[in-house]
Amino acid sequence: MPATITAIAHYYPEDKLTNKHFESYLDTSDEWIKTRTGINERRIMKNGATSDMIVPAALKCIENAGIDKQEIDCIIVATVTPDHMYPSTAAVVQHKLGIKNVWGFDISAACSGFLFALKTAASLVESGAAKKVLLCGADKMSSILNMNDRNTAILFGDAAGVCLIEKSNDDNYGILDSILHIDGIGGQYLNQKAGGSAHPATKETVENMEHTVYQDGKTVFKYAVKGMADVSKEIMDKNNLTSEDISFLVPHQANLRIISATAERMGVGMDKVMVNIEKYGNTTAATIPLCISEWLEAGKIKKGDNLILSSFGAGFTWGSIYVKWNMNK
């Protein structure tokens, strides 16, 4: 039996930064940001860590699932902004939630973090190694941004999405297929230079802002358009899905132009694409669960819908997962 998503919830901080805010001190404009990225505003967590966004989303997810939190036997957190290098954010979340007999770990796959973690959680459930996995995709990107770099400051935001992964009750519904990739060629184009063992923190690395996001946007854009469009089309073909069969494309929200190119390649109209980048920007591991949770809350997803989840991010990492939705709201 395949694994499936049995509950989902999200959290985003109250504080907003609009494009106008960046206009006030950077050489940029609302118009440039909107037309080049699709972003209008993003949420910023002023106080607290990534785990502090995960916990409210997790509590809501557990409530939605109608389970006792002690039934959860594994916690996975996909993030590139962990609370600490160690302990894992999964351990921090476990402690804050007070879940007793559980194990867990973090996954680092940047913007593909949620998909890589979803595949991992599904494999654990399908193999019988876990029964109820709390899967969290969350990033406090504002903690690693250079707010004076117009190339990156305007792109990202903070949010969390949490879902519960369990065995499906039907062979034909759930997480049905996945194609995932990693290629270290991308390291030079999108990275955080310092803070790891290659370049431990020094006074100089801090002064040079090497603990913040570096991105060669143009190059990443080219790889992202090809990577996300190709893999989304590939998973459709592999599963004999036509564009009519697709209920929703759920793309990582990095740039509206990358999303449109992917939809075009799949032959899917934008009315079938989940887009909320205008409200949140790129929240890295949170974009996909945040979309699904919002669309579900709005009653737009129904049992039997075919969803194609697709992402591209630092590494490079990219991939697609085919989900036949298994629940009504």
Q: Which residues bind ligand UT7 (CB under 6 A)?
A: 28, 32-33, 36-37, 111, 150-151, 154, 217-218, 220-221, 224, 254-255, 258, 282, 312-313
What is the nearest approach in angstroms of ligand UT7 to the Cβ of residue 111?
Answer: 4
The three state secondary structure string of 127-150 is HCCCCCEEEEEEEEHHHHCCCCCH
Nearer to ligand UT7, 80 or 102 (CB): 80
Tokens 């009653």 found at: 299
Type of residue at 140: K
282 is catalytic: yes
What is the nearest approach in angstroms of ligand UT7 to the Cβ of residue 68?
Answer: 36
Catalytic residue among 61, 74, 111, 163: 111
DSSP bridge pairs for 280: none
Catalytic residue among 252, 255, 306, 326: 252
Residues contacting 236, CB < 8 A, separation 6+: 242, 243, 245, 246, 266, 308
Nearer to ligand UT7, 56 or 217 (CB): 217
Nearer to ligand UT7, 36 or 96 (CB): 36
Type of residue at 276: N
What is the nearest approach in angstroms of ligand UT7 to the Cβ of residue 92?
Answer: 24
What is the nearest approach in angstroms of ligand UT7 to the Cβ of residue 102?
Answer: 30
CA angle (54 as vertex; 50, 55 as ends), nearest 5: 120
Instruction: Please state, in angstroms and rounded to a whole number, the distance separating the CA atoms of residues 163 and 4.
Output: 10
252 is catalytic: yes
Nearer to ligand UT7, 46 or 218 (CB): 218
Catalytic residue among 282, 291, 306, 326: 282
Query: What b-and-e string marks burial along 160-190, b requiring 16 or more CB atoms within 10 Å of the CB?
Result: bbbbbbbbbeeeebbbbebbbeeeeebeebb
What is the set of active-site residues? 111, 252, 282
